[in-house]
């Protein structure tokens, strides 16, 4: 009977030992996998640091701006004034901000003056901010998924307000005042891009687009004399330089690395929300579940660093060199596609890098097109006729998307200058790929 009892006990002990062995082996295997992934991450990080790429918030070295030289506090004060005017979340402000003033008639101008009147205190502060030499919002990228930029939308509204004031001044025949307000708007649009993230870059480009549209309207409506055109030329020459793509790419890398390290502690809904900006991808739900794994976390970080390192290293010194920038994006995409399971996550960012870079080059292209258009008008004012072919204005004449001169067409009502856009070929002036600037000109023929 004792033998019969011992047999089951021995079997239980054997099973227990087997389970313990499997558990220990599994734990050891998982630990080994984690160490391998950690070493991969460490290797990529060291390589990126050797290349001089920022890895952590402290590496960005944005410097300290003296309070009296910083426009950011004034912008925040202007936003507070806006909220006092419209306590409903800028609802009326939005309606006004995105209505372009195209009516030169006195009634239309007076109506818009009345609508803008409550916002004048905020606009006065923005004008003061435009005189400051620097803008630094002092954001903490180490906040990761809690990082927020609540100022961008109201600052874009304020940019549009300034553009509307400029358009009203032009409609009243006060071109000097119009140019002044466009300068304020242009400085604000540039300052929106002070943060080292692609989100800041895109908000800034959007605001710069508002200034660009108002400027073109002013050129097509203003008094066509040399003094007016010289004033516009001085304005164009004074525009703040666009920050380079590396500035935004490094900041984006730093912020997303912080977020990657936070992923295991986030809930699935929080991860989905973080991924909302990466577009509609059929793999997104699968990725959302995978990237919360603590074991896979170093692997995701390693692949992410590899992706951005490839992109940043391949970026040309000249941000107007679209073929080289496009190649950098393609290399990053290939790097992501050839990586591990983490590519499901990094591929989404690889595609975004190229799209965001394209937006930056488009903004630079529009600025050049406007510069060229004003110079052609100056030539017409001096000579009495439009040129038959595209003049050579050096670098300003070059289409960043081709490295060749912009295309030019003389029209019965004026002329157009245009870029072929990101695809590098002319698709017809109605095609969204081409960037077209139409200018009316007196005695065009």
pLDDT at 204: 94
Integer CA distances (angstroms), 56 to 6, 15, 113, 315, 413, in order: 62, 49, 47, 20, 55
119 HSE (CA, 13 A, CB side): 28
pLDDT at 144: 84
pLDDT at 280: 52
pLDDT at 123: 94
State the sign of the Cα–Cα–Cα–Cα dihedral 328, 334, 336, 339: negative
Closest CA to 310 of 334, 291, 278: 334
Let me know the angle formed at the C-alpha of 155 by 153 and 161, rounded to the nearest 5 degrees. Answer: 110
pLDDT at 50: 93
Structure letter (DSSP) for residue 59: G
Structure letter (DSSP) for residue 117: G
Consecutive 10-residue averages of pLDDT for the chain (445 residues): 52 55 57 75 90 89 84 95 70 50 59 80 95 92 87 92 88 86 95 91 92 88 76 88 86 87 79 62 60 73 85 85 83 68 61 81 91 92 89 91 91 89 68 77 61
Closest CA to 398 of 346, 360, 356, 361: 361
CA dihedral 398, 404, 410, 411 (to 10 degrees): -90
pTM: 0.83
């Amino acid at each position: 009977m004792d033998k019969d009892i011992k047999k089951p006990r021995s079997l239980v002990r054997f099973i227990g030992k087997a389970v313990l062995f499997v558990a220990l082996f599994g734990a050891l295997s998982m630990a080994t996998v984690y160490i391998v992934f950690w070493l991969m991450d460490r290797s990529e990080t060291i390589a990126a640091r050797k290349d001089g790429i920022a890895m952590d918030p402290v590496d960005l070295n944005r410097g300290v701006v003296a309070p009296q030289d910083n426009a950011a506090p004034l912008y925040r004060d202007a936003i507070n004034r806006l909220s006092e005017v419209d306590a409903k979340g800028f609802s009326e402000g939005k309606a006004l901000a995105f209505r372009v003033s195209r009516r030169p008639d006195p009634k239309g101008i007076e109506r818009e003056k009345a609508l803008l009147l409550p916002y004048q205190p905020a606009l006065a502060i923005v004008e003061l901010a435009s005189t400051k030499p620097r803008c630094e919002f002092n954001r903490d990228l180490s906040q990761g998924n809690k990082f927020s930029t609540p100022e961008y939308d109201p600052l874009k509204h304020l940019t549009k307000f300034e553009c509307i004031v400029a358009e009203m001044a032009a409609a009243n025949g006060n071109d000097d005042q119009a140019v002044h307000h466009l300068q304020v708007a242009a400085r604000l649009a540039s300052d929106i891009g002070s943060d080292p993230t692609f989100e800041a870059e895109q908000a800034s480009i959007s605001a710069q687009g508002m200034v660009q549209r108002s400027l073109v309207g002013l050129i097509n409506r203003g008094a066509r004399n040399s003094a007016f055109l010289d004033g516009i030329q001085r304005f164009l020459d004074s525009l703040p330089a666009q920050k380079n793509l590396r500035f935004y790419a490094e900041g984006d890398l730093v912020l997303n690395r912080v977020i990657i390290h936070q992923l295991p502690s986030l809930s699935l809904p929080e991860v989905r929300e973080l991924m909302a900006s990466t577009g509609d991808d059929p793999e997104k739900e699968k990725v959302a579940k995978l990237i919360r794994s603590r074991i896979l976390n170093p692997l995701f970080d390693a692949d992410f660093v590899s992706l951005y390192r490839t992109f940043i290293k391949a970026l040309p010194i000249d941000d107007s060199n679209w073929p080289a920038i496009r190649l950098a994006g393609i290399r990053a995409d290939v790097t992501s596609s050839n990586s591990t399971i983490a590519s499901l996550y990094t591929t989404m960012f690889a595609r975004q890098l190229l799209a965001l870079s394209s937006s930056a080059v488009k903004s630079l292209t529009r600025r050049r097109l406007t510069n060229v258009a004003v110079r052609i008008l100056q030539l017409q004012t001096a000579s009495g006729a439009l040129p038959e072919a595209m003049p050579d204005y050096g670098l300003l004449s070059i289409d960043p998307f081709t490295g060749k001169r912009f295309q030019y067409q003389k029209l019965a009502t004026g002329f157009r200058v245009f870029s072929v856009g990101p695809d590098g070929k002319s698709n017809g002036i109605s095609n969204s790929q081409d960037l077209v600037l139409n200018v009316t000109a007196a005695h065009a023929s």
